[in-house]
Amino acid sequence: MDSITRIENISELHKMLGQEEPKHPLIGLIDFSKVKPQGHGGNIKISTGFYTVLQKNLCPGALRYGRNYYDFQEGTLFFLAPNQVISIEDPDETKDIYGWGLFFHPELIRKTSLSSKMKDYNFFSYNLHEALHLSDKEQNKLKGIVEDIELELSQNIDKHSKTLIISTLELLLNYCNRYYDRQFITRTNQNNDLIVEFEGLINNYFNTDVLKQKGFPSVKDFANQLGLSPNYLSDILKKETGRNGTDFIQYHIIEKAKNKLLGSSVSISEIAYDLGFEYPQYFSKMFKKKTGMTPGEYRSLN
């Protein structure tokens, strides 16, 4: 098995790419057109201890995430959270590399408002093939923000530096959120096909013995079958239907529970076990949350 090169901090990354020390220890910007191929040869697996935002084309080889390969078009932006592993397969040192990379360590934003907002930027947990594809106008907008960060990093550090850097970084991520929303809208037809497929998987799960054998399913179970990351699937569902993946699954559970409550005289505990719940009280709690009444009340009223 290929070993993984672990890069813990921004300084190590700059050194690995033959760049001078970063101007700030917790955030770095790299212009890949100034990076010379390092002559590693073979396949390279990399994992970092920091957040990464990359614009294509940053490497002269095929990128692989998990078991899939990706070849990005001009203007593609993708994101990596700390500890994710990315592979560069068979680097071609005769090809030019270009684009930019922004890297920031979790310590930079710790105890700031941005730290609590990172959970809203789901794209850091998307798969590579769920990357953001930018228009020329969007590319120029983000490039301008990146240049503002670079300009601030080149200044003498003072008491305002961290606040300005983090606020500009947050602005960049907020624009990325906006552009992802635009991408979801422009891909509505594809997304609707995906939703139909997703609903088919759910129906098959709940209408066969799989539910009793494997128990209550997760969004990840269905996302894996669709070749998507769980957050990307949930975000598509939320944009198109107003309900995320968990809501969809729970809706089908409740509908099946209603049918069992009204179509049989078996106990509520037995229905809960049949629906994949390990503990009946979890089923009752979910049912009341979704319907406003307990399973027993629903059965009595109907």
Nearest CA to 212 out of 271, 261, 260 is that of 271
Does 4-186 carry CATH code 2.60.120.280?
yes
- In the predicted model, is pLDDT for residue 199 greater than 70? yes
**How many other C-beta atoms can be found within 10 angstroms of the C-beta atom of residue 70?**
17
Q: Judge contact between 76 and 36, C-beta under 8 A.
A: no
The overall pTM is greater than 0.85 = no
The average pLDDT across 238-242 equals: 90
Interatomic CA distance for residues 261 and 249, integer angstroms: 18
Question: pLDDT digit string (tens) for 110-129?
Answer: 999 999 999 999 999 998 78
Which residue spans within 106-246 are E strands per DSSP? 132-133
Domain ranges in the chain are 4-186, 189-301
71 pLDDT band, cuts 50/70/90, is very low
β-partners of residue 129 are none
Interatomic CA distance for residues 158 and 22, integer angstroms: 17
pLDDT of residue 96: 59
Task: Please give the CATH topology (third level) of the domain spanning 189-301.
Answer: Arc Repressor Mutant, subunit A (1.10.10)
Q: What does the mean pLDDT of the chain come to?
A: 85
- In the predicted model, is pLDDT for residue 87 greater than 80? no
pLDDT of residue 41: 52
Q: Judge contact between 16 and 37, C-beta under 8 A.
A: no
Range with the poorest average pLDDT among 33-47, 132-146, 195-209, 245-259: 33-47
**How many other C-beta atoms can be found within 10 angstroms of the C-beta atom of residue 203?**
11
